[in-house]
Structure 1
Amino acid sequence: VNRIRELPQNSNIVATHTDSPDVYIWDLESQPNRPANLGTPASRPDLTLTGHQDNAEFALAMCSSEPLVLSGGKDKSVVLWSIHDHISTLATEPGSAKSPNSGSNIKKAGNGNSDNPSIGPRGIYLGHEDTVEDVQFCPSSAQQFCSVGDDSCLILWDARAGLTPVTKVEKAHNADLHCVDWNPHDENLILTGSADSSINLFDRRNLTASGVGSPVHKFQGHDAPVLCVQWSPHNRSIFGSAAEDGLLNIWDYEKVSKMETESGGKKSNHPAGLFFRHAGHRDKVV
């Protein structure tokens, strides 16, 4: 298992990414508590989300306002599903009728029952030229989301506008992009982390449909590829980053201009915006 994401509307529903094209949905209340003993039958997911044509190993997100799941994979695609499209005990009482508004396209298992249900996507979004490494929903809109990949691109999408990119930043970094996060307090601010060891802060108001634009600031405090970036849920200007160098850095972008002013334009050994560094890990932090 490479990624686990919890459904914000129901903490008992989680999605997992493995070395497989499919996304698995699990209802923790219905799953048996099986010991990890040799010979124990494997648990079966409550729902399988299909749509990728190649392994989708890492890029996975769940929407904060609706039961939507977003994924990216080696097939260069971003895929969107709605758990509402599944009629089972995840959404309805046993034996209840199908809702006329559910839009379910459930596929039954080969034996004719729904013990192994799966659903297809609501949309497959194409715009990347290489593996999609991370995806995120816009905090204020279930219809808007973003993705990054090994093609060095940051792409903004809007499901209402079709299956093609709304904005594509083709050189968001000088190397593969590994991670992205959308500010929950300011929907205009997006962070990206890259194999070039840097973190870029983008303001989407500065981007055009052709991808013209530059980061508000480039944060440099790692010596290896950045694997994770995440905004603070409590403060709009604070975020964390983790990398293959084993470091966990905490940043405040509002301190950048102050630190640059205090340095008088001179090069500083202290990265601008960095105010805490945890160096206790002995291996990469993912």
Structure 2
Amino acid sequence: MNGESSLMEREMKEKAKGCCSVEERYTQWKSLVPVLYDWLANHNLVWPSLSCRWGPLLEEATYKNRHRLYLSEQTDGSVPNTLVIANCEVVKPRVAAAEHISQFNEEARSPFVKKHKTILHPGEVNRIREFPQNNSIVATHTDSPEVLIWDVETQPNRHAVLGAATSRPDLVLKGHKDDAEYALAMCPTEPFVLSGGKDKCVVLWSVHDHISTLAVEADSDDKQGSIIGGNNEKGKENSSIGPRGIYEGHTDTVEDVQFCPSSAQEFCSVGDDSRLILWDARVGSAPVVKVDKAHRGDLHCVDWSPHDINFILTGSADNTIHMFDRRNLKSGEVGSPVYKFEGHDAPVLCVQWNPDKSSVFGSAAEDGIVNIWDHDKVGKTTADSADSTSPGLFFRHAGHRDKVVDIHWNASDPWTIVSVSDDCESSGGGGTLQIWRMMDLIYRPEEEVLDELEKYHSHIFECNS
């Protein structure tokens, strides 16, 4: 880490040491926003959200880009739960003025986030995942055994009012025998969907199976619609398909699943039994590798590196993140991670690799913190890391005041993150959505930053003379 960013981090750590409450920590974080962030937008939510995801890049302009953004609204039942499709403007690097970044109102809704369409969801939206093969298709989990598929472009816009009927999904994936609440993943190479649930099973579907059936129906009925068959608003029944495979190996609820980035047949799962299991559909429904004790507590999340398919991240109720090398994993043994990352004070709820830099990943936890890590920095002694209690940790986003339930890196706008917190415990309701990008001086190579500062050295001194 370069000298300037190290100074920023040390200042933040020193101020954090004196914090006695979440509000004090938050107030001190706000004072550092102008020097820590290149862009930050705060969006107050009337209802809490349990998931947020970037959709496609919609428009590129000179000073900002417009992106699709998916989020949920978890209501108290007085009005329907919703799946929200929003348009989000993200200012490009080094465009926003520091004073603008620092001036935001926690109670206001950001002008950079505008609701585009609302889908009235049957039940709470626990997870949202987007299809890499089709920008308009998303999958959702709710408190039921089913996975719901939506074409957000063809679905009609609805208003969440008392007594309104819920929207009809375009496709329903059936196969679980109990609720499938959180574990949901999309394959990056094929239109495959993966899910896990309270029935202790991992279930695999192929949307190709529905498309094949739909083609026959279209020939006979002359139907029109999306690749998943239209929005069914006027239909009698939802279209549905059964699974390609059901995989049994967990002894408790499956909390998260993830595909191998290079194979539609390989995937992994984690659960409340503390197990990390690797699967390969080509060799059957039994686990390929079953690590019985990957952590000391329940496992909440998992992510498979898109840069090196040997590395897998797991986050746990034991407050830690483990990075595993799958070449070293053996069934029936206690998991031996390549490294254990310790920097949260509460259960870790989400982990995700940075899509741009192979050694960097983010984590979110119930402590209200989003940590950004670089495993290349582990073991490297520098002036600022010598006294560090969390090797590899180089940035802490403390903008939330309650548990951070989801984060997502923007693949088309490097280093831009959306994060969402459920603020019910701290404020009695609502949530906070934030879009942010740390100052590039923090993560760029030290030599590169020093060269740039040297280039502007004379200009800076002239302006201050």
Hey, what does 1:8 align to over in structure 2? 132
* TM-score scaled by length of structure 2: 0.55
Hey, what does 1:276 align to over in structure 2? 395
For residue 94 of structure 1, report the CA deviation from its aligned partner: 7.1
1:46 maps to 2:165? no
- Secondary structure at 2:381 match in 1: helix
CA contact (8 A) 1:195 1:226 kept: yes
1:169 maps to 2:313? no
* TM-score scaled by length of structure 1: 0.89
Please list, as runs of the form range in 1=range in 2, the aligned pairs for 1:181-260 lying within 5 A after superposition.
181-211=303-333, 213-259=335-381
Identity of aligned residues (%): 71
Q: Answer with 253-262 or 151-160: which moved more.
A: 253-262
**CA offset digits 1:149-193 (Å, max 9, x no partner):** 000000000000100100011000000000000000000000000
Give the Cα separation in 1 of the matches to 2:285 and 2:337.
26
Aligned length: 270
For residue 67 of structure 1, report the CA deviation from its aligned partner: 0.4
Match of 1:59 among 183, 193, 217: 183
Hey, what does 1:83 align to over in structure 2? 207
CA contact (8 A) 1:88 1:94 kept: no
CA contact (8 A) 1:139 1:183 kept: yes
Match of 1:160 among 282, 285, 309: 282
CA contact (8 A) 1:259 1:272 kept: no
Give the aligned residue type for 1:33. N
CA contact (8 A) 2:260 2:304 kept: yes
Match of 1:17 among 141, 154, 161: 141
- Secondary structure at 1:163 match in 2: coil
Give the Cα separation in 2 of the matches to 1:114 and 1:35.
22
- Secondary structure at 1:10 match in 2: coil
Give the Cα separation in 1 of the matches to 2:243 and 2:253.
19
Hey, what does 1:102 align to over in structure 2? none
Larger-Rg structure:
2
Structure with larger RCO (C-alpha < 8 A, sep 6+): 2
Give the Cα separation in 2 of the matches to 1:42 and 1:88.
28
- Secondary structure at 1:86 match in 2: helix
Gaps of 5+ in 1: 99-108
Give the Cα separation in 2 of the matches to 1:172 and 1:261.
33
Hey, what does 1:121 align to over in structure 2? 243
Q: Answer with 150-159 or 35-44: which moved more.
A: 35-44
| CA distance 1:97–1:220, shift in 2 (3 Å) | farther
- Secondary structure at 1:151 match in 2: coil
Match of 1:148 among 270, 279, 304: 270
Give the Cα separation in 2 of the matches to 1:33 and 1:55.
27
